[in-house]
Every structure is written in structure tokens, then in C-alpha cells.
A and B are shown apart, each in its own frame.
Chain A
Amino acid sequence: MMNLHLVSNKPSVIGVLDLQGGVHEHLEHLESLGVVYKRVKQVEDFADLAGLIIPGGESSCLSRLLNIFEIKDVLLQAHQRGMKIWGTCAGAILLANKIVGESSCLNLINITIERNSFGSQLDSFVSEATIPAVAAEPIPLIFIRAPKIIDVGSDVNVLLEIGDYIAAAENESVLVTVFHPELTGCLAFHRYFAMKCGLKITASDHEYIDPHWKSCSWTKHAGNI
């Protein structure tokens, strides 16, 4: 089992924004990594979060829900206080300061992103890449009706560039990936984000493929009957 060491009195919980989309998949990965996690849905849920994951889903839906229930301002205040944020797919769109053809939502990272940039579901695909900053081993990448990051500002560090687009990038407080690490058995990106949040996780790279993960592992967090 991996060991988790907390750094002094800093917040140690990572939240997953639970409005719509791939929430359960992220919860499952955080659990496998041994990170303390919670669902974030109400204003009070933002107190003392070390980090927040904005999952994949539909960005137009998520953006509407953020605005309706005053979650947006609270999220921005928590970010001001030091909460780190990781957006996957739709989450990356919400965090961008420029969205092609639309107005931006959270404006927290200096990137230009284009929604649904590959085409229809028939153009969704799987590949892999080595991202040295994140893990020594190749990481499986799942793109589902994915956006493309087409430009970044000088304060943004590109983690993965593929052909004519950028697939992963970060600044000091925000990480964005247009693919879905939560839909694979690979925990490397979740570890990377946990460390960005100030949590210390010790384990060698090969331990970041969860041997028990299956494509339906998310179901244990979903649908109570």
C-alpha cells in the first residue's frame, strides 16, 4: 500500500466537484491512492480543501450549474486562499481564460481551448504518452469528444504536446488535461495533482497502475438502490 504523509497543518482533503459528469471515477482513483477525498456540491463543502478536481462532463451544463447556486464565487475565493484545481476535459474548458467561440467561465489559467475539437463520439480514441514530469512510465490517454488546447500564455508550463495541440498544461495553481486519467487504471496524474496540493505520496512509478482497477470500478461510488 502507498504511504501518505501530510505536510504540517495544511488542508489535506481533495474534493471532486459533484455537479455533473465523471465524479465517481475520480473518487475511486483518490481512494486507491489513499488520499482523503470528498464530494463538493454545496458552498460549505469548500472549506479547507487542499485541492479540487473539476471532472469531465458537459462544460455548458457545469458552467450553468456553477452560476446558479453561487458555487462559482466560493470556488474562486477558495482558489485565492490557496486551493489547487485540476480540470479534466470539461473541467479544463471551465478553467481556461479563452474558449473558442464562447465566453470563459473561471479564467484561472492562461490557455486557449476549443470545445469538442476532434469531432463526434466516433472520433474518440485511446493512445499513450510519456510525460516525464508526471511519471517515468508511459501513461494511457483516453480522449472522449475532447477539447484541444491550441495556445498557452508564457506563465503556463506545457506538460504534453501532441501534433498541433496541447493535451496537458499547468500554472502554479491549476492543472488541465484534455484526456481522462480517471478512466484508466493509471494513478500517476492523481498522484501528481495530490503532490501539487502539498500532499506527499511515496511510491515508485510502477505502483501507479492500480492492478485491481476495472472499467466498472466507478460503480461502487454510484447509484444506491
Chain B
Amino acid sequence: MDTKRYELNVQLAQMLKGGVIMDVTNVEQAKIAEEAGAVSVMALERVPADIRKDGGVARMSDPSMIAAIKKAVSIPVMAKARIGHFVEAQILEALRIDYIDESEVLTPADEECHIDKTKFSIPFVCGARNLGEALRRIAEGAAMIRTKGEAGTGNVVEAVRHMRTMNREIRQLVQMPVEEVTGFAKANGLPYELALKVKELGRLPVVNFAAGGIATPADAALMMQLGCDGVFVGSGIFKSADPAKRARAIVKATAYFNDPQKVLEASMDLGEAMPGLEISQIPPEQILAGRGW
């Protein structure tokens, strides 16, 4: 991928700022999401809550289902490839969707290597729990970052942890003298050049969304106030009692995240949220955020 193509891919993510990207599993849901004001849809066969429940190996979705969703909406379409599964990524690029999520929600195909994203023209978004993980993905060619959170739980605690961790590490980097950056980069696994870039900018050089466990308008506004540029909502919408209403409400709360009166209005009368999962009740081998490094 040449520099200009990479910049265009980063810039598409810039146009999604302040918006909500919604998981959808069929054409009908995709249309509900678009109508509700989603800036993009993530096309997948099962939302994370069902992947968690069903167990087994979770793979890239059927391309014909992704193609049907692509045809049904005019907003950008994203789809997930397994960590390290560069052939799934090649297929998604051949399908000409708009963004690939190299995602820990699917079962990893490679426990050593993530995809070399610089070999692709299509943009990638990748999950991260901390600054080192975010910068390693950017070094591999990711054009957009999101927190990993803990997908399919309806529990925002992990997304908050990951965003606070990134913010803390960025603040440390900004405040330290430049001669300390080498050691900090070594200790935290930060590519050095990107560490210097973050020190200069005081934030990631690409758009950073919240993901993993966001279920309510308040969750979305919380992540935005913590400094995220936008929000992914996976199971939170179509596992709730009234998906269309909840989708619209989360769009409102994300746009007006700093306005408690409007977040209040958005939070009224939404019906049941998705059932939540306490993180400590999840067996360690089923923690999705631990996939990838």
C-alpha cells in the first residue's frame, strides 16, 4: 500500500468520527441501522453474544451474506477477518467492502502474527487494550484503532479499562523527557517512531473508537467523554428489546455526549437492554480480549 492510499484509508475513518458503527447480521438489520443513523455497519453472521454462547470456531462470515448487506445500504460496510488470517482478508478485499476488522471476536488463525496490513489497499481497524498494542497494529498498517473491551458481554468495564490505560500511557509519554522514550517504548512494546509521534500529538495518530460491551446511550457517552472518537456497538442493539429505538438513542447520545440533558432524553423509555455478563464469571479461556497481542 502506498502512502497516499494509507492516508485515504485513515481519512475515511476520520469521516466516521462522532458516529456509531453497528453490528448487523442480515439485510433487514442493516437497513434499521442505516435508518437509525449508523455511520457504518459491521456485517457478520452472529453477534458476539451469540458467538460467545455457541462456542466452537468463529470464522469470517459467508461472503454472499456480506455482499447482500453491501447492496442494501449506502453507508460503508465493514466485515471481520480472523487475527492473522490474511486469506480471509484477501477475500474481503476482493469483495470490495470498505473496511476490514481484524478481530479477536473471531477465533484467531495465527497466535504469533497479525496480518501484514501494509500488503493491502483496503483499510483495517484493529483492537487494542493499551498503547503498545495500538501502535503495533498501526505499525502493521492498521488505519484505525478501537478498544477491545469485552465483546458480547454488555459490560462496558473492559472498554473503559482499555481506554483509560491508553490515555494514561499517552499522558506519561507526553510528559517524559525524550531520552526516556526509548526505555518506555522497550518496556511497553511501543514502536519507537510511533511513540515519538504520539508524544508530539498527545493522542493516537489515527482515529480511535470504543468497542466491546457498549449497551446503552450512557455507555456510548461515557466512552466519548473518555476521549474516544466514536463507538462500535455489537450485540448491544439487536440483542435489546427495541433495536431501532435503541440504535437511534445511541446515535443521539454519541453526537451529544457532552450534553447530559440530551443523553437523558436519549436514555428514556428504551425497553430492556441486552442481558449483561459479569467479567469475573467468564472462564479465562473465553476472554476474547486476550486474543492477539
Query: Which A positions have Cβ atoms within 8 angstroms of B?
Result: 18-25, 41-42, 56-58, 60-61, 64-65, 68-69, 89-90, 115-116, 119-122, 124-126, 142, 144-145, 180, 183, 215-216, 218-220, 222-225
Q: What residues of A have a CB within 8 angstroms of the CB of B205 in the complex?
A: 216, 219
CB distance from B106 to the nearest CB of A (A): 21
Pairs of residues from A and B, 8 with the lowest C-beta to C-beta distance, nearest first: A64-B37, A20-B18, A121-B98, A225-B167, A61-B37, A58-B39, A120-B96, A225-B227
Contact A122 B122, beta carbon cutoff 8 Å: yes
B9 at the interface (CB under 8 A from A): yes
A212 CA / B255 CA spacing, docked (Å): 30
Cα A121 to Cα B16 in complex, Å, equals 13
CA A170 – CA B255 in complex, angstroms? Answer: 29
A58 touches B14 (CB 8 A): no
Assess A215 versus B252: contact at CB under 8 Å? Given A19-B18, A22-B17, A223-B229.
Answer: no
Given A122-B93, A126-B4, are A57 and B19 neighbors across the interface (CB < 8 Å)?
Answer: yes
Interface size class of B (residues with CB under 8 A): 35 or more
Residues of B within 8 A of A144 (CB): 8, 11-12, 15
Which residues of B pack against A, CB within 8 Å? 4, 7-12, 14-19, 34-40, 70, 74-77, 93, 96-99, 121-123, 167, 170-171, 197, 201-203, 205, 208, 226-229, 248, 251-252, 255-256, 259, 262
Q: In the docked arrangement, what's the CA distance between A216 and B14, Å? A: 10
Quote the shortest CB–CB distance from A115 to chain B (angstroms): 5
A60–B202 touching, CB < 8 Å = no
Whether B15 contacts A225 by the Cβ 8 Å rule is: no
| 13 A-B pairs (CB sep. < 8 Å) | A18-B18, A20-B19, A20-B39, A41-B256, A42-B259, A57-B16, A69-B252, A115-B74, A120-B98, A121-B12, A144-B11, A218-B14, A223-B228
Residues from chain B with Cβ under 8 Å of A65 in the complex: 37, 251-252, 255
Closest to A68 in B: B252
Are B39 and A121 neighbours in the complex by a CB distance under 8 Å? no
- Contact: B202 with A23, CB < 8 Å? no
If A64-B251, A219-B203 touch, whether A21 touches B18 (CB-CB below 8 Å) is: yes
Q: Is the CB of B76 within 8 A of A121?
A: yes
Chain A: which residue is nearest B200 at the CB level? A216
Nearest CB in chain A to that of B163: its residue: A225
Determine if B201 and A216 form an interchain contact, defined as CB atoms under 8 angstroms apart: yes
Instruction: Tell me which of A90, A121, A220, A225 has the highest count of chain B C-beta atoms within 10 A of its own C-beta.
Output: A121
Query: Whole-angstrom distance between the alpha carbons of A125 and B5 in the complex?
Result: 8
Q: Which residues of B contact A119 (CB under 8 A)?
A: 96
* Nearest residue, chain A, Cβ from B99: A121
* Neighbouring B residues of A23 by C-beta, 8 Å: 17-18
Which residues of B have CB within 8 Å of A68?
248, 252
Complex: how many Å from CA A218 to CA B202? 12
List B contacts of A42 (CB < 8 A): 259
Q: Say how far A192's CB is from chain B's closest CB, in angstroms.
A: 21
